[in-house]
């Protein structure tokens, strides 16, 4: 039977929902599912992880070296824990992408990136070419499966469980060559872009950081997360952590609004899994309309205020 270990992602004492999505993938693979929490004090996060349905055990590994999410510290420890497991999983977030390949290389195994679906315990599908092709990848028998899970393809596991929590001591040798300095975070007060059920995004057509306020206002009214195209980020209207697309965040909200976004393939990659896509653009030939479920040709500076009024 498979035995799976999931690398938990967390910050400020909160388990990231990406972890619950990895659990769904692990349950689909089938077997004994464990979660590893690395931190300086992880009891609260471990308790949240223990509530996820399908998890049989949470490993809580506390050490001052795990205070910050550094791959150089966590990968050796994860690799040391991996013996006895058939699968090592992490979300395909920036964090998972940073840590897991480092652990896989230490273990001498290749990694499967971005699992979309599970054929069997060793065979998966994943996107390549920015989602323009889907491939089947299989891992040979008797080799550890190291994989990241494409979170937009998976629903979060339900809560209501109470798995055992085991305290473990750090056992690996950790380097001193990598030092955390700081996290610069704009930290908006709206819902998290990656988990919000409604997301409102703006593109270059907004024209300025000031005009982007229109997007924030509408999002507030819709209780939505706020995203942006690469063009809007590059133009400096919004910070990088709002970028939706191949090199930003890949999201799957129930409802997605694209205002003034032309629909470059790199952006479309990030929103393909959205339930309903609404596009508003002045240019009737914009590629975004090929993808949109509901399209409206027009000037966003008129349409957004009208829409806000209609929502009152």
Partner 1 sequence: MKVLVFIKRVVDYNVRVKVRPDGSGVDTDGVKMSINPFDEIALEEALRMREAGQADEVIVVSAGTSDCQQQLRTGLAMGADRAIQIDTDKPLQPLTAARAFQALVEQQQPGVVLLGKQAIDDDNNQTGQMLAALWGRPQATNAAKIELSGDTARVTREVDAGLEVLDIDLPAVITTDLRLNTPRFVKLPDIMKAKKKPLDVVALDGLVSDAGNDLKIGNWSPPPQRGKGIMVDDVAGLVTELKSRGLL
What are 168's strand-pairing partners? 61
Task: Choose one: 32-40, 54-62, 131-139, 207-215; the region binding partner 1 (CB under 8 A).
Answer: 131-139
Distance CA 123, CA 151 (A): 17
Residue from 83, 120, 133, 312 touching partner 1 (CB under 8 A): that is: 133
Task: Choose one: 29-37, 59-67, 157-165, 271-279; the region binding partner 1 (CB under 8 A).
Answer: 271-279
Residues in the interface with partner 1 (CB under 8 A) total 83
Residue from 57, 102, 174, 204 touching partner 1 (CB under 8 A): that is: 102
Report, in Å, the least distance between residue 62 CB and partner 1. Answer: 21
The residues, ordered by sequence, that sit 6+ positions from 31 with a Cβ below 8 Å of its Cβ are 1, 2, 3, 4, 86, 87, 121
Residue from 4, 232, 278, 300 touching partner 1 (CB under 8 A): that is: 278
Q: For the residues of 62-118, what is the DSSP string, one character each? A: E-GGGSS--HHHHHHHHHHHTTT-SEEEEESSHHHHHHHHHHHHHHT--EEEEE-EE
Q: Could you say which residues in the range 62-101 bind partner 1, by CB under 8 A?
A: 70-72, 75, 93-95, 97-98, 100-101
- What does the per-residue mask of binding to partner 1 show for 193-232, with x meaning CB under 8 A? -x-----------------------------------x--
Task: Choose one: 35-43, 54-62, 161-169, 288-296; the region binding partner 1 (CB under 8 A).
Answer: 288-296
In the complex with partner 1, which residue's Cβ is closer, 46 or 112?
112
Task: Choose one: 82-90, 161-169, 211-219, 274-282; the region binding partner 1 (CB under 8 A).
Answer: 274-282
Residue from 136, 213, 283, 299 touching partner 1 (CB under 8 A): that is: 136
Phi, psi of 144 (to 5 degrees): -60, 135
In the complex with partner 1, which residue's Cβ is closer, 84 or 179?
179
The residues, ordered by sequence, that sit 6+ positions from 244 with a Cβ below 8 Å of its Cβ are 193, 199, 201, 227, 228, 229, 250, 251, 267, 270, 271
User: Tell me, what DSSP letter sits at residue 269?
Assistant: T
In the complex with partner 1, which residue's Cβ is closer, 208 or 302?
302
Q: Is 267 in the site for partner 1 (CB under 8 A)?
A: no
* Beta carbons of 49 and 162 less than 8 angstroms apart: no
Pairing of strands 111-115, 198-202: unpaired
* Beta carbons of 293 and 202 less than 8 angstroms apart: no
In the complex with partner 1, which residue's Cβ is closer, 32 or 68?
68
- What does the per-residue mask of binding to partner 1 show for 161-190, with x meaning CB under 8 A? --------------x-xxxxxxxxxxx---
Torsion over CA: 211, 289, 277, 114 (sign): negative
Q: Is 105 in the site for partner 1 (CB under 8 A)?
A: yes
Tell me how many degrees the CA angle 156-256-251 measures, rounded to the nearest 5. 40
In the complex with partner 1, which residue's Cβ is closer, 160 or 185?
185
Q: How many CB atoms lie within 10 A of CB 65?
A: 18
Residue from 110, 161, 211, 217 touching partner 1 (CB under 8 A): that is: 110
Q: For the residues of 294-307, what is the DSSP string, one character each? A: EEEES-HHHHHHHH
In the complex with partner 1, which residue's Cβ is closer, 24 or 113?
113
- What does the per-residue mask of binding to partner 1 show for 5-44, with x meaning CB under 8 A? ------x---------------------------------
Distance CA 289, CA 49 (A): 40
């Amino acid at each position: 039977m498979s035995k799976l270990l999931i690398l938990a992602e967390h910050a400020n004492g909160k388990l990231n929902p990406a972890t619950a999505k990895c659990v769904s993938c692990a349950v689909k693979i089938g077997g004994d599912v464990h979660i590893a929490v690395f931190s300086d004090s992880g009891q609260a996060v471990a308790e949240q992880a223990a509530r996820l349905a399908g998890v049989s055990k949470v490993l809580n590994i506390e050490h001052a070296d795990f205070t910050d999410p550094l791959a150089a510290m966590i990968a050796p420890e994860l690799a040391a824990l991996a013996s006895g497991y058939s699968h090592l999983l992490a979300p395909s977030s920036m964090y998972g992408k940073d840590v897991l390949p480092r652990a896989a290389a230490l273990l001498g195994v290749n990694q499967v990136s971005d699992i979309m679906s599970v054929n069997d315990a060793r065979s998966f599908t994943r996107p390549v070419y920015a989602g323009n092709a889907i491939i089947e990848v299989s891992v040979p028998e008797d080799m550890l499966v190291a994989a990241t899970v494409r979170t937009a393809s998976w629903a979060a596991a339900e809560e209501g469980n109470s798995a055992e929590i085991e305290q473990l001591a750090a056992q690996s040798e950790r380097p001193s060559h990598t030092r955390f300095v700081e996290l610069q975070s704009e930290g908006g007060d709206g819902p998290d872009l990656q988990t919000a059920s409604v997301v409102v995004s703006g593109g270059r057509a907004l024209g300025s950081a000031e005009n982007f306020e229109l997007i924030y206002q509408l999002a507030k009214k819709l209780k939505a997360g706020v995203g942006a195209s690469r063009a809007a980020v590059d133009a400096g209207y919004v910070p990088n952590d709002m970028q939706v697309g191949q090199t930003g965040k890949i999201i799957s909200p129930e409802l997605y609004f694209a205002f003034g976004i032309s629909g470059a393939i790199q952006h479309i990659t990030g929103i393909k899994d959205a339930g309903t896509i609404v596009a508003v653009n002045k240019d009737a030939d914009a590629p975004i309309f090929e993808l949109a479920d509901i399209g409206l040709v027009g000037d966003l500076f008129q349409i957004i205020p009208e829409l806000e009024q209609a929502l009152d």
